[in-house]
Structure formats: structure tokens, C-alpha cells
Amino acid sequence: MKLSVLPLLAASLSAVSAHEGHESKEFSTAHLLELEKKWGTDWGFSGISTFAHLPHVRCLSHPETAYDIGIIGAPFDTAVSYRPGARFGPRAIRAGSARQTSFRGFNPRAGINPYTSWASIIDCGDIPITPFDNALALRQMSEAYVELGDRPARSESRASSNAYHHKAKLLTLGGDHSIALPALRALKEVYKQPIAVVHFDAHLDTWHPAKYPSSWIDPEDESTPSFFNHGSMFWLAAKEGLIANTSSVHAGLRTRISGDDDADWVDDTQQGWKRILTDDIDDIGTRGIIDSIMQRVGTEYPVYLSIDIDVIDPGLAPGTGTPEPGGWTTRELIRILRGIEALNVVGADVVEVSPAYDGSAETTALAAAQVAYEVLTNMVKRGLMEEGKTAAASVGEAARDEL
């Protein structure tokens, strides 16, 4: 028997009877509620480290578990081009979320507590990903995302005409940024169409893989395993038709590009991306960034929100694999995320947290945990907005029927 099953089995047996040789004992609902009231709360510094102290289920091996939003870790970092270490990112972000609790989770800007609203949110644990074989790792992640992404949401019955409630959604804690490719593969399969991507990053991540020079590989052979890396996954996604190439946008760019001209930007434009540079915030402010994203993407098209923590300046978030000076502040990024809450986000990630390069205050992990909280808030609020539309449409139909 697998060790992970033993605690579940023990809990089930103890609920039915006492230890062997002792009299069976049943527990009343009132007694269980009293125990939960007395012992069911953790302080920020206590308890098992799940994201925001959420319930934990290994969702991949427990398909009977229903949820609306799952937090899934992707501890993978063997596709990086500079500093490894993001395999420890999911653990660090969970630790950074320790002060987030359901009893103190109200988000004043949104007017909701995402942890106590309509959505069932759970921590699904990590995808077990090999660190030895990137081709196998890509296959493992692709199959895991399809397995999790195609599950019905727990709240589906609450609003049968509300499409936002039909499929469970995932927020991934990375891991390096290459994990976006298998996530987009799964979303394309689930939603039967390309997905718009809103990409916060210092880097393009649309580079042709041959821009990483090597005389050992054929630049025309797209099956080359090294083509799967954290700077080329969106290039691969575009080649596979996974991205809506007239509705996607980069935000926070400030990277150096290849060669002696702007060929990287030309290639990026041909892939259908709009670029918002880090410096643009000085000219148009956070409101201008928000408006630019919303005008490009709209509110109805399904969106994958991908957030590389290096979009934040390394002075504020040093624990990342490819730091680029001159980035946005944590406050600016959070303000922009709050402004795009109307996006139809069907999946998201927070990636490239490498805690080995963080300081003793764990500022990068704290920033990533707050970013994840804002994304969750947006997902939950969008669900409430959709319920409002459904209710309004029903009222309108009833009024027309009366006429």
C-alpha cells in the first residue's frame, strides 16, 4: 500500500470505530463541529504548508475530488538558460502564503474573500516531474494538465447556463516558465480553440530555439529536445496553434534581444503578440497598462495568465533565475493585476521563483504568494460577475415572456 494512502485509511477507520478491542463509538455532527471550532484553525506559522492553509488532496490520484480552482505545483527547472532552482518554487510560494487564511482573506479592492466565496479552492499538491529527462517531463506535465483541466467544476450545478462554472481551473506554482507549454496544450484540448495569453515577464519567451547557439543541433529539427526551454515555449506554442495570435500580449518587457537589430521583435510580432515595455509605465501609468491589455484581449475570450516573477525588479524580487534590473515594483504589478479582473481567465501560473537566490526575508516568495492571491481573487470575482449576467438574463427572459 502506498504511504500516501495510509493516513486517509486511518482517518476513515477512526471515524467508524475506536482501536481494536474497544467499544465502537459514533460521533455526532454537533460534537464534530465543536472539535472543528476548537482545533480546526491554524495561525500563519502553524500547520502543514499548503497554499493559504487550504485543504490538500493529491488531485491527480483522487479523481473523485471535485473543486472549482486547484492550486498545482510544477517543481521543474531543467529547461532554464541561466540559474536553476525553481523546482523549489512551489514549496517557497506555499510558505510565503502562510499568512493568508480564510478568516483573514477579505480583499477590500474586490469586495470578496476568495477563500469563502462560491468557489471550492484546494491545494492539489505537485505534479511528480522527473529531473532527468526533459522529454519525459514534458509528457508528464502535458498528461497531468489534461487530466486535471478536463474535470467538471464542483459548482457546475449552481449555474448550468454559466460557462465559467463548467470546468475546474488551475493556478500553477512554478517551476520554470516552460511549464506554460503543457498547460496551453491542455487548455487548447479542453476549450477546443487557441487561448489568449497575457504574459507578464521581463523576457519575450518567443525566441526561436536556435537563438540559443549550438553547433551540436540541427536548427531546422523541431523535435530536438533542447528546443523545449523556458525562453522558447511560446514559440513552440505558436507553432502548435495553441495561442490566439491576435489577442495575446506581453507586459513588463525590458530584456536585451539577439544580434544587432530588432529581428526578435519582428519575429514576435509575426507570432501575433502586442508588446508593453517596462518603461511604458512611466509614460502612461498603471491605468494605461491596464487599458492597453483590456483593449487587446477583451473580456470574453478565454485567457491564460502567465506571470514570471522576474517582471518585478530584482531589488524587490531577487529570487529568480534570470534577473533583469529596472523592473516594475511589486505594488505596480499588483495594481495592474487588480485592474484586469474582468479578463476571462481559465488558467494561470506564477513561475520562476528560485528561493536559493532570495534573501532571508523571503521577499520573492512573499511577492509570488500575493500575486497568486490576486489571481485567485480575479478568478472568483469573474465567477460572481458571470452569475450576475446569468441572473440578469433570466430576469430579462421572464419579463419578455410576461409581455
Quote the CA–CA distance of 76 and 164 in Å, as a whole number.
Answer: 29
DSSP-based three-state secondary structure for 381: helix
Judge whether 177 is annotated as a binding position: yes
Cα(233)–Cα(218) distance, integer angstroms: 18
**Does 205 carry a binding-site annotation?**
yes
CA distances from 225 to 136, 228, 249 (A): 10, 6, 27
308 labelled ligand-binding: yes
Rounded (10°) CA dihedral 321, 322, 324, 327:
-60
Residue 205, phi-psi category: left (phi > 0), alpha (psi -120 to 50), beta (remainder): left
* Dihedral Cα 316, 320, 322, 325, nearest 10 deg: 0
166 annotated ligand-binding residue: no
99 contacts: CB under 8 Å, gap ≥ 6 = 44
Residues 136, 130 contacting (CB under 8 angstroms): yes
267 is in an annotated binding site: no
Residues of the binding site: 177, 201, 203, 205, 308, 310
Residue list, annotated binding site for Mn(2+): 177, 201, 203, 205, 308, 310
